């Protein structure tokens, strides 16, 4: 039997974990970036009978590593261009391990004083980097999804309290309905936040985006005037998921504010361009908004899960979440995370962010942003110029689109769509590069998204070569 109370038990198992982790991370260059094990196989490996008796921790970890084989995709690799997914910076990963070792409950300052302060400082640094007001409040949440929920709960508080309704006390039934005006290019997480908060999907009014993927001032004005008495949230994009489009904040935010609307910005990855002198202009006026979201686990390359919510109206933010109980311990002017977060018990999520920001510094972040944009541009233009391919969207930042053409005579748009999906899956199956698909403006495209700090010119070459081979093998 294993003595589960033996403190010396940490040493062998953590040493094994380190060994396995290094093997995983150092072999990404050689390993396929796609999964190579069938779902049924994976399930049969893990779905053993719930054990009656315990076992040695080292064996647990060794068998875990053996069983995940082929089921871990290469999202930490420099050849992973699917969705918008970053890897992990060394300092951020190490800090995240320590966060688990320290195992603090980051609900309140008293449960983990150092982590509360780290979060306080990391929040201040992020506002500085993004050019947001230092008076804005913030929360470290699981990702932009929960950052939307956090920010929109603050918006709900403020808009309804202006209408004489205490939503925290009375709930939504009987209150004035709130609408959300946005563009057709929004991410689905905004809609989910609206569902979770009880607004419902029908409260979302999507206006068509212009040729550059932006909401235009005239249609926004018209929409705001159409029901001018209704409490309104305007959701703008700082980097949309397909083409990385930025709404013209300095034009749109003053219009929305003139109509009394709350402006919320989805900046899941796009807010990071604030760190780069080359791209910062894309965010002009973004600091005028009322709330913002961003992810650390995408372009900053912290491990999952790490997202940030920022709210200009700190009072509305606190009113939406703060909860005082008799057993909470208040320490001086300490920041209790629970006053700003939807969670109660939670992970000390600020630690990995703090470490990532220190590893890179301002210049390192700017360099990471600009380097990934260069690689995204090269990938899209080089793949798009291969026979049988075309560029659909030339990246302005780190997101672009290409499409594959069915060359048979009389091929239709549907044929090109099918061809595009087929080529994507064939590229992925080579294990050389990972791309995802999307339907953009009614047509299938391959998304090219570069977020990983490790992506280099060799990775770009390998991805282009793999695509060239796939297209060559399919040539008529
Ligand atoms: C990834 C993403 C989201 C969702 O963020 P999560 O961190 O996955 O919750 C929302 N909006 C945009 C633009 C995104 O790229």
Query: What residue ranges do the domains of the chain occupy?
Result: 7-72, 93-357
Q: What pLDDT is recorded for position 10?
A: 93
Tokens of 140: 């470290």
Pocket test for ligand 1, best of 189, 238, 302, 397 (most atoms within 8 A of CB): 189
**Residue 328 CA, distance from chain mean position:** 32
Q: Which helix (H) or strand (E) holds 401?
A: strand 399-404
**Protein residue closest via CA to atom 2 of ligand 1:** 268
- What stretches in the chain show pLDDT beneath 70? 1-8, 326, 475-476
Cα of 301 from ligand 1 centre, angstroms: 14
CB 43 within 8 A of CB 53: no
Measured from CB, residues less than 6 Å from any atom of ligand 1 are 84, 143-145, 187, 189, 241, 266, 268-269, 295, 307
* Gap from CA of 223 to ligand 1 centroid (Å): 25
- The SS3 of residue 292 is strand
Q: Nearest residue CA, atom 7 of ligand 1? A: 143
Q: How far is the CA of 326 from the centre of ligand 1 (A)?
A: 36
- Classify each residue of 415-440 as buried b or exposed e, where b means 16 or more C-beta atoms within 10 Å of its C-beta: ebbebbeebbebbbebbbbbbbbbeb
**CA 305 to ligand 1: nearest atom:** 7
Question: Please, is 280 exposed, middle or buried when counting C-beta atoms within 10 Å of its C-beta (0-12, 13-18, 19+)?
Answer: middle
Give the DSSP H or E segment for 457.
helix 457-474
| Structural tokens at position 289 | 């908004």
Tell me how far the alpha carbon of residue 17 lies from the centroid of ligand 1, in angstroms.
30
Q: How far is Cα 334 from Cα 332, in angstroms, rounded to an integer?
A: 5
- pLDDT at position 474, please? 77
| Fold of the domain built from segment(s) 93-357 | 3.40.640
Return the structure tokens found at 368.
Answer: 């990471």
Q: How far is the CA of 83 from the centre of ligand 1 (A)?
A: 10
Ligand 1 mutation pick, 86, 142, 145, max ligand atoms within 8 A of CB: 145
């Amino acid at each position: 039997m294993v003595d589960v109370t033996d403190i010396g038990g940490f040493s062998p198992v953590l040493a094994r974990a380190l060994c396995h982790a290094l093997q995983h991370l150092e072999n990404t260059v050689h390993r396929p970036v796609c999964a190579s094990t069938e779902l049924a196989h994976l399930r049969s490996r893990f779905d053993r009978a719930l054990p009656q008796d315990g076992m040695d921790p080292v064996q647990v970890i060794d068998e875990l590593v053996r069983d995940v084989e082929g089921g871990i995709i290469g999202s930490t690799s420099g050849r992973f261009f699917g969705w918008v997914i970053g890897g992990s910076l060394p300092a951020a990963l190490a800090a995240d391990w320590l966060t688990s070792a320290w195992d603090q409950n980051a609900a309140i300052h008293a449960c983990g004083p150092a982590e509360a302060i780290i979060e306080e400082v990391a929040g201040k640094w992020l506002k500085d980097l993004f050019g947001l007001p230092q008076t804005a409040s913030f929360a470290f949440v699981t990702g932009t999804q929960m950052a939307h929920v956090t920010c929109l709960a603050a918006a709900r508080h403020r808009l309804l309290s202006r209408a004489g309704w205490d939503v925290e006390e009375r709930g939504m039934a009987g209150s004035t309905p709130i609408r959300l005006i946005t563009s057709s290019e929004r991410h689905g997480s905004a809609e989910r936040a609206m569902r979770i908060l009880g607004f419902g999907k029908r409260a979302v009014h999507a206006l068509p985006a212009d040729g550059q993927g932006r909401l235009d001032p005239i249609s926004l004005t018209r929409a705001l005037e159409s029901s001018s008495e209704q409490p309104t949230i305007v959701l703008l994009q700082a980097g949309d998921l397909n083409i990385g489009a930025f709404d013209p904040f300095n034009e749109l935010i003053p219009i929305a504010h003139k109509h009394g609307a709350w402006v919320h910005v989805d900046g899941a990855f796009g807010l990071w361009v604030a760190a780069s002198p080359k791209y910062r202009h894309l965010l002009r006026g973004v600091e005028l908004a009322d709330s913002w979201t961003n992810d650390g686990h995408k372009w900053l390359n912290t491990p999952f899960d790490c997202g940030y919510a920022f709210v200009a109206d700190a009072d509305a933010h606190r009113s939406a979440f703060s909860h005082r109980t008799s057993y909470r311990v208040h320490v001086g002017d300490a920041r209790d995370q629970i006053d700003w977060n939807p969670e109660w018990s939670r992970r000390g999520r600020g630690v990995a962010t703090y470490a990532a920001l220190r590893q890179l510094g301002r210049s390192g972040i700017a360099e990471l942003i600009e380097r990934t944009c260069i690689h995204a541009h090269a990938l899209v233009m080089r793949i798009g110029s291969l026979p049988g391919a075309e560029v659909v969207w030339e990246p302005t930042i780190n997101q672009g689109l290409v499409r594959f053409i069915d060359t048979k005579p009389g091929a239709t748009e549907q044929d090109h769509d099918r061809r595009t999906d087929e080529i994507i899956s064939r590229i992925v199956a080579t294990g050389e590069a990972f791309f995802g698909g999307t339907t953009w403006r009614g047509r299938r495209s391959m998304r090219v998204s570069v977020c990983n700090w490790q992506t280099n010119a060799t990775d770009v070459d390998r991805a282009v070569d793999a695509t060239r081979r796939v297209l060559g093998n399919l040539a008529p």
